[in-house]
Amino acid sequence: MHRLLLVTRNYTSDMTLQEHKEDILNTLEHDNSFIGEGGLFGDPVCDWFVIGGRWSGRLMGIKEDRDAYRVEGYPDDIQLITKELYDKFLTIHEYKNAEFDEYNKPSFTDLDCEEVGADFINQKVIVAIDYHY
């Protein structure tokens, strides 16, 4: 099964959006609780993932066919959070730093463990992750 995971992380102006995307990809690839062998009391969240995937273009409302298996996704699969993106994707997660669906699979996480608030606007990036479990 495939799930959409929205990931946010602090934005720094000394990194490009592509560098932020690579940083997020690297963080998730090396987190054994997300992908890997799991830990003492649990299995990892997924067995593989890509940036964008089935949800590539969703952040910007693009509905064209894309390669769903392109590991690093497309340039628009990461965005600096604007008010419009915040309203569309993050207001439902306000005051939380992570959220899980009815199958106890993550649907949102902030990699800095900060609770969602309007202060995310222009201060964080958002990435769409397609993960398989």
Question: Could you give the CA distance from residue 83 to residue 97 in angstroms, rounded to a whole number?
Answer: 18
pLDDT score, position 36: 78
Cβ contact 4:129 at 8 Å:
yes
Residue-wise pLDDT for 28-59, tens only, equals 999 988 997 776 667 899 999 999 999 999 99
Query: Tell me: the pLDDT tens digits for 60-84?
Result: 999 889 999 999 999 999 999 999 9
Report the length, in residues, of the chain.
133
By the 10 Å C-beta count (0-12 exposed, 13-18 middle, 19+ buried), 16 is classed as: exposed
Given a cut of 90, is residue 6 above it in pLDDT?
yes
Q: What is the mean pLDDT of residues 114-133?
A: 97
Write down the domain spans for the chain: 2-31+43-79+92-132
User: What 3-state class would DSSP assign to 28?
Assistant: helix
To which H or E segment does residue 10 belong? strand 2-10
